[in-house]
Each structure stands twice: as C-alpha cells, then as structure tokens.
Amino acid sequence: MVSHYGVTIIIADAQISTNVPEYSCLDLKLRGTTSQIESALTYLDELDLEVLHQSSPEEDG
C-alpha cells in the first residue's frame, strides 16, 4: 500500500493469531491525502478485510 497508494502506515498495535488467522487484528494509522487513504481503504475492502473504525481528516487534523 505504501508504494502503490502513497500512504504512510504506522502499526500502532497488533494481535496476531497463528492458529486462527481470522482472529488477528492490526491497529493501523494511515497518513496521506484523503484520496490516497480512501484508495488504500478500498483496497483493504476488496481483500475482504474488516475495517472497524475509519477516522476522518477533520478528526485527526
């Protein structure tokens, strides 16, 4: 996502289950333009990954 969408990814937290990958969770912070972040989130959605919270640029400044 970094090279394709131009976003910066910060892994704030990770809980990885080696036995049951469906229960793994990553807390990612994405930085970039609104368009870059929207494209990256669309990509995650196309991978059928669940995005639990999506903040707006107004929220984060």
In a domain? residue 22: yes
Residue 8: pLDDT band with limits 50, 70, 90? very high
15 belongs to a structural domain: yes
How confident is the model over 13-38, as pLDDT tens digits? Answer: 999 988 887 788 999 999 999 999 99
- Are the C-beta atoms of 32 and 7 separated by less than 8 Å? yes
Return d(Cα 48, Cα 35) in angstroms, integer. 20
In a domain, 60, yes or no: no
Residue 27 resides in a domain: yes
CA distance 39 to 54: 13
Asked if residue 12 belongs to a domain, the reply is yes
Residue 9's domain comprises 2-52
- Asked, for residue 26, whether it belongs to a domain, the answer is yes
Residue 59 lies in a domain: no
As a whole number of angstroms, the distance between CA 40 and CA 38 comes to: 5
Considering its fold, how many domains does the chain have in total?
A: 1
Q: Is 41 helix (H, G, I), strand (E, B) or coil?
A: helix
